[in-house]
Amino acid sequence: MEKISTHTGIGVPLRASNVDTDQIIPAVYLKRITRTGFEDALFAAWRRNPDFILNQKPFDAGTVLVAGPDFGTGSSREHAVWALKDYGFRVVLSARFGDIFRGNSGKQGLLTAQLAQDDIELIWKVLENAPGTEITVDLASKTVVCDSVTAPFEIDDYTRWRLLEGLDDIGLTLRHESEITAFEAQRPDFKPRTLPVR
Amino acid sequence: MTEATTPQAPQATQTAQKPRTLAEKVWADHIVSKGTGLGEAAQPDLLYIDLHLLHEVTSPQAFEGLRLTGRQLRRADLTIATEDHNTPTLAIDQPIADPTSRTQINTLRANCKEFGVRLHSLGDAEQGIVHVVGPQLGLTQPGMTVVCGDSHTSTHGAVGALAFGIGTSEVEHVMATQTLPLKPFKTMAINVNGTLRPGVTSKDIILAVIAKIGTGGGQGYVLEYRGSAIRALSMEARMTICNMSIEAGARAGMIAPDETTYEFLRGRAHAPTGADWDAALAYWETLKTDDDATFDAEVDLDADTLEPFVTWGTNPGQGVSLSGNVPYPEEFGDENAKSSAERALTYMDLEPGTRMKDIRVDTVFLGSCTNSRVEDLRAAADIIRGRTKDPNIRMLVVPGSARVRLDAEAEGLDKVFIDFGAEWRFAGCSMCLGMNPDQLEPGERCASTSNRNFEGRQGKGGRTHLVSPVVAAATAVRGTLSSPSDLDPLDGPYAGIVQTSSANVTPNSAQHVA
């Protein structure tokens, strides 16, 4: 995974709460067996509307999505993260994220920064008054700067560390392999197995 | 800082003394390596996973990841796969028509073969929705950790397992290590006391809970459903509740095991037997929240006054009693909730103030991992038996698994549905998310026993009202959103049949049966 410390890019105000992962990527796009190539699927239903924010310049070139609360609820589909990344987004700002979506983002190097809703509102105003305004997100200091607005954000420490270091989760876990083996040796016999087929 | 931290010795003395919740006990019993440190150096706990369920949609990229890194599948014997999301529910003996669906299914078959994973394919008696298949085989048991690349994995919490949905990167992680690094969660008690009235089911309980705490209310929590109304529920009814925990934002929902749980498990293909059963039972009986344990949050719901519940909007928290009206956006104090309601009403093409029972629907969908088990089908069949379907309604009945379909047919339920004019289909996720041909047309309105009323969830432009199986059945009779109590009494051979919620209640709680 690539290291992330700071990112600067055009902010996109998405004035909607409860943006579930079915909206981020509808189910019909989940049939591919690759991890890339989902950019056309991002917000596919909404993008059919010419007024949708990503159909407007300069927002179409945005890399920092500024969303309403409860972004990424619903389905566990990691395709939602792949679609955001394939489109070009590197950061999502929201007052609250769906748990699974936030976890998936952390594995894929999409930074999910949790801001107070009041700060989100201030940033929305800046972006709407001056489209194309860039947002700088600094993971080291956990701050977001958008023109006159400077706001702190929250992210769990473990994810932050992994993003800053660009660490692979599986590799980290495999450092504990001897403990996993020891744990397995003590599992009770009554726990079920799927194989052999009974 | 990049070095892995040294694991601490097990802290047996500490864990033995502190009163704990059910979820905390299951968590503690699966810690491979205790998380350490505080603040910036904090490491999460590494948790062992007892069962990994796979399906065709969220696994291909994970298998590919293993191949690319040269890693092995650590425990094929704790892994099982089924085909469900893409599978057609008609003509299952024919090749799958949609080439991308076919590719995804074929990819799962090839991957399972390559890595030695047990797979239940289309046509197999154990094929079906992954969250129906696991409990049906007795593979999900109390005190286990269960994961799947599907958010409705919370279903398995009904047997007292800690079960939650994961993304594809985590699927790969579990494949390679049989563990997951996880941050501790908070605990929330959902106390449901009282007695459900006839026609009110566990689906109504969970829809009311979500309406109460909101789609984000459970974020960061494991929910534990407690109270007399929960104890009175059958195992399948409990699954419906735990299934929709994710709709309240919680990754997992649990119900402590009891006699209902043990009776459900006894004799199932993968349930323990003999001395193993005794050992398992002794352990399972410890899996309850200690009397003096505290939850981080508690929510109360009164079962006595609960009515059938239905959604009007585009997220599962936007629900009301079926006897109520479509709300006015101004009723919502919060600006975000208000604009969300406005947007939802536009999408749903509903006028504020409309009686919910005046809403006419086009399609009724009985199925999904929420409500597709044999009790659900039985409860719906009990409503429609001897009645006539509204001629403008299309009704799809999709059993959760091939086994459920066979069991239902053995009881003659298929004939009830077919005589009524419903379509009796093969098992799968079907119209819950429309990855197969079972989709709504733009503008089509559906009363659905599934779990999500998101925009376009059941097909582009489709409009979803979430309901219980008995409300779905009554709606198919009347053509408008209806509760069983709205139906005219039957005459002829079915006269005098009393419709109750008894199908949703365990046999050993006779006081709930009318």
Question: How large is the ipTM?
Answer: 0.94
Q: What percent of chain A has pLDDT over 90?
A: 90
Contact A179 B46 (CB under 8 A): yes
Q: How many secondary structure helices (H) and strands (E) does chain B include?
A: 16, 19
pLDDT given for residue A130 in this prediction: 98
Q: Give B219's contacts in chain A (Cβ within 8 Å).
A: 70, 96-99
The tens digit of pLDDT for each residue in A116-145 reads 999 999 999 999 999 999 999 999 999 999
**Cα B471 to Cα B486: distance, rounded to the nearest angstrom:** 10
Question: What is the per-residue burial (b if ≥16 Cβ within 10 Å, else e) of B231-244?
Answer: bbbbbbbbbbbbbb
Q: Give A108's contacts in chain B (Cβ within 8 Å).
A: 169
Radius of gyration in angstroms for the set of CA atoms belonging to chain A, rounded to a whole number:
19
Q: Give A175's contacts in chain B (Cβ within 8 Å).
A: 4
pLDDT given for residue B502 in this prediction: 41
Partner residue opposite A170 with nearest CB, options B101, B151, B172: B172
pLDDT given for residue B41 in this prediction: 60
A window 93-122, beta carbon within 8 A of B: 96-100, 103-104, 107-108, 117
Query: Which residue from A minimizes the CA distance to B47?
Result: A180
The tens digit of pLDDT for each residue in A63-90 reads 999 999 999 999 999 999 999 999 999 9
Residue with tokens 């924010």: A53
| Partner B contacted by A183 (CB < 8 A) | yes
Q: Is the pLDDT of residue A185 over 70?
A: yes
Q: Are B87 and B405 within 8 A, CB to CB?
A: no
pLDDT given for residue B493 in this prediction: 61
User: Which backbone phi and psi does B81 adopt, to 5 degrees?
Assistant: -125, 150
- Mutation site, A31, A79, A160, interface B, largest B CB count within 10 A: A31
Q: Give B220's contacts in chain A (Cβ within 8 Å).
A: 99
Confidence of residue A2 (pLDDT cuts 50, 70, 90): confident
3-state secondary structure of A163: helix
**Cα B415 to Cα B409: distance, rounded to the nearest angstrom:** 8
Q: How many Å lie between the alpha carbon of B143 and the closest alpha carbon of chain A? A: 10
| Partner B contacted by A155 (CB < 8 A) | no
pLDDT given for residue B5 in this prediction: 40
DSSP string of B275-315, one letter each residue: HHHHHHHHHHTT-S--TT---SEEEEEESTT---EEE-SSS
Q: How many Å lie between the alpha carbon of B511 and the closest alpha carbon of chain A? A: 35
pLDDT given for residue B16 in this prediction: 56
Contact B173 A16 (CB under 8 A): no
Contact B216 A76 (CB under 8 A): no
The tens digit of pLDDT for each residue in A10-51 reads 999 999 999 999 999 999 999 999 999 999 999 999 999 999
- The CA-CA-CA angle for residues B488, B493, B498, to 5°, reads 50
Residue B151 tokens read as 């958010």
DSSP bridge pairs for A101: none
Q: Give B86's contacts in chain A (Cβ within 8 Å).
A: 31
Contact A20 B279 (CB under 8 A): no
Q: Is the pLDDT of residue A184 over 60?
A: yes
Q: How many Å lie between the alpha carbon of A86 and the closest alpha carbon of chain B? A: 15
Q: Residues near B358 by Cβ (< 8 Å), separated by ≥ 6?
A: B480
Q: Residues near A98 by Cβ (< 8 Å), separated by ≥ 6?
A: A20, A21, A70, A71, A72, A73, A74, B219, B249
- Mutation site, B59, B150, B177, B286, interface A, largest A CB count within 10 A: B177
| Partner B contacted by A185 (CB < 8 A) | no
Contact B339 A31 (CB under 8 A): no
For residue B169, count CB atoms less than 10 angstroms from its CB and return exposed for 0-12, middle for 13-18, buried for 19 or more: buried
Q: How many Å lie between the alpha carbon of B468 and the closest alpha carbon of chain A? A: 20
Amino acid at A59: F
Contact A99 B272 (CB under 8 A): no
Q: How many other C-beta atoms are found inside a 10 Å radius of the C-beta of residue B3?
A: 7
pLDDT given for residue B149 in this prediction: 98
Start-to-end C-alpha separation, chain A: 41
Q: Give B113's contacts in chain A (Cβ within 8 Å).
A: none
Q: Residues near A38 by Cβ (< 8 Å), separated by ≥ 6?
A: A25, A29, A32, A79, A82, A83, A86
- The CA-CA-CA angle for residues B242, B186, B241, to 5°, reads 10
Q: What is the mean pLDDT of residues A143-171?
A: 93
- Mutation site, B26, B73, B107, B169, interface A, largest A CB count within 10 A: B169
Query: Which residue from A minimizes the CA distance to B221?
Result: A99
Amino acid at A58: P
**Cα B466 to Cα A91: distance, rounded to the nearest angstrom:** 33
3-state secondary structure of B337: helix
Q: How many Å lie between the alpha carbon of B372 and the closest alpha carbon of chain A? A: 19
**Cα B456 to Cα B445: distance, rounded to the nearest angstrom:** 11
pLDDT given for residue B76 in this prediction: 98
What residues of chain B score a pLDDT lower than 50? 1-15, 498-514
